[in-house]
Structure 1
Amino acid sequence: MNEFLKSVPAGDVKNASKAMLQMQLYAIFTTPVNGMGPVFEHLDEHLAFQVQLEKDGILYSAGPMWTDDEESWEGEGMVVIRAESRAVAIRIAESDPMHKAGAREFRVRPWMINEGTMTVRLDMSSQSFGIA
């Protein structure tokens, strides 16, 4: 393959990794527009929206993104959702109260999961579970 290529068709990548999971999701990168005040003003509504997405089976994962030194939060977050297309994912992101209010702006990127692991531990005696 030409090492100077800047882009490869998605179909080529899918073909090269056809034995892997190939789960199509959408990552929503969200950043504050006018500082942290508006973010906190709409945080409760935003979190309720996220919980509803989770209950509806749309939300795959979400959470805040710390600064690179892992010491603080500047309002950035990432939300990963299940959707039929990027257009649908954009409509879902537009419905977030944080975005509707203009407290944050967002970017949606298609993301295909091929590799990884998730461990769920279920302790029957205590009827508790954990994710590692």
Structure 2
Amino acid sequence: MSQMPEKAAALVSKMLQLNLYVVFWHGKDQDLMPLLADHLEYLVELEKQGKVFASGPMGAPEKRNGMTILRAADEAEARRLAENDPFAKNGIRDFTIEPWTVMEGTFTVEMHFSDGTAKFS
């Protein structure tokens, strides 16, 4: 691989460079509903532990695919977390994992003190 040009290196040095792992969930034409509550409880617990960056369904609903972005020390930990998801444990979803480095982007948080609501965009 060639060396990064100086201008690009200067830009990259200021970027977030957050290393995460993306779990791509692949539906297997099986009904998810019987295990949906267990799956959601599992992800909520991981979220409380700080392991879930984001998660949700992906693509056409009938395909039953999803994506979960994990904060994990390494790919082995990300794989263990994915394998313990009730959908994976019960064989109704397969998954692949890809490392992902967040470089650019933005988000906004709007807090309303009067009623305790929040808006993310």
TM superposition score category, shorter chain reference: 0.7 to 0.9
Match of 1:32 in 2: 27
Identity, % of aligned pairs? 36
Partner Cα separation in structure 2 for residue 116 and residue 99 of structure 1: 31
SS at match of 1:49: helix
Root-mean-square deviation over aligned CA pairs: 2.0
Q: Does 1:85 align with 2:78?
A: no
Q: Which residue of 1 aligns with 2:90?
A: 101
Q: Which amino acid aligns with 2:78?
A: A
Q: How does 1:1-132 map to 2 (within 5 A)?
A: 16=9, 17-33=12-28, 35-37=29-31, 39-67=32-60, 72-132=61-121
SS of match in other structure, 2:25? strand
Deviations 1:38-97 (A, max 9, x none): x22221111110111111110000000122xxxx44200000010000111011101101
Quote the offset at 1:127 in angstroms: 2.5
- Give the structure-1-normalised TM-score: 0.80
Counterpart CA distance in 2 for 1:58 and 1:84 is 10
- Residue 128 of structure 1 and its aligned partner are, at CA, apart by 1.8
Paired with 1:18 and 1:73, the residues of 2 have a C-alpha distance of 42
List runs of 5+ in structure 2 lacking aligned partners: none
